[in-house]
Amino acid sequence: MDGEQIVRDVAERVRELVGEAEERAARIVREAEEEARRIKERAEAQGRERLEEVRQALDELQGKLGAGGSSAEVEPGPVVVPEPEPPAPDPDPAPEPIPEPAPAPEPEPEPAIVPEPTPPPDEGTPPAAANGAGAAKSSDATGARLVAMNMALEGASREEIERHLASNYELEDAGSIVDGVLAATAK
The three-state DSSP-derived secondary structure of the chain is CCHHHHHHHHHHHHHHHHHHHHHHHHHHHHHHHHHHHHHHHHHHHHHHHHHHHHHHHHHHHHHHCCCCCCCCCCCCCCCCCCCCCCCCCCCCCCCCCCCCCCCCCCCCCCCCCCCCCCCCCCCCCCCECCCCCCECCECCHHHHHHHHHHHHHCCCCHHHHHHHHHHHECCCCHHHHHHHHHHHHHC
* Residue 103 belongs to some domain of the structure: no
Give the range of the structural domain holding residue 148, as residue numbers without chain letter: 141-186
What pLDDT band is residue 133 in, cutting at 50, 70 and 90? very low
Per-residue pLDDT tens over the stretch 76-115: 667 777 777 777 766 666 667 677 766 667 777 766 676 6
* Residue 121 belongs to some domain of the structure: no
* Residue 44 belongs to some domain of the structure: yes
Instruction: Pick the last residue of a domain from 12, 40, 70.
Output: 70
Per-residue pLDDT tens over the stretch 151-178: 999 999 999 999 998 999 888 888 888 9
* Residue 171 belongs to some domain of the structure: yes
The predicted pLDDT at position 19 comes to 94
Per-residue pLDDT tens over the stretch 7-25: 999 999 999 999 999 999 9
Instruction: Pick the last residue of a domain from 70, 96, 116.
Output: 70
Q: How many domains does the chain have?
A: 2
